[in-house]
Amino acid sequence: VVVDLLGLLAYGDLVAFQRMAADATLAPDLARRALLCEMAGVEIVHFRRVADRLTAVGADVVAAMTPFRSALDDYHEQTEPSSWLEALTKAYVGDSLADDFVREVADALRPADRHLLEDLRRDSPYARFAADEIRAALADDPPSADRLSMWARRVVGEAISQAQRVAAQRLSLVRTLVGGDQLVPAVLTRLTTAHTSRMSTVGLNN
The binding site for its own copies (CB under 8 A) comprises: 14, 17-18, 21-22, 24-25, 29-31, 33-34, 37-38, 40-41, 44-45, 47-48, 51, 61-62, 65-66, 69
Burial class for 6, CB neighbours closer than 10 Å (0-12, 13-18, 19+):
buried
CB atoms near residue 104 (< 10 Å)? 17
Nearer to its own copies, 31 or 139 (CB): 31
Report the candidate in 107, 97, 113 with the shortest Cα–Cα distance to residue 2: 113
CA–CA dist 117, 99 (Å, integer):
9
Distances (CA, A) of 73 to 14, 48, 58, 127: 11, 20, 26, 21
Least distance between its own copies and beta carbon 93 (Å): 22
Nearer to its own copies, 62 or 136 (CB): 62
Least distance between its own copies and beta carbon 191 (Å): 28
Least distance between its own copies and beta carbon 76 (Å): 11
Nearer to its own copies, 9 or 40 (CB): 40
Nearer to its own copies, 60 or 146 (CB): 60
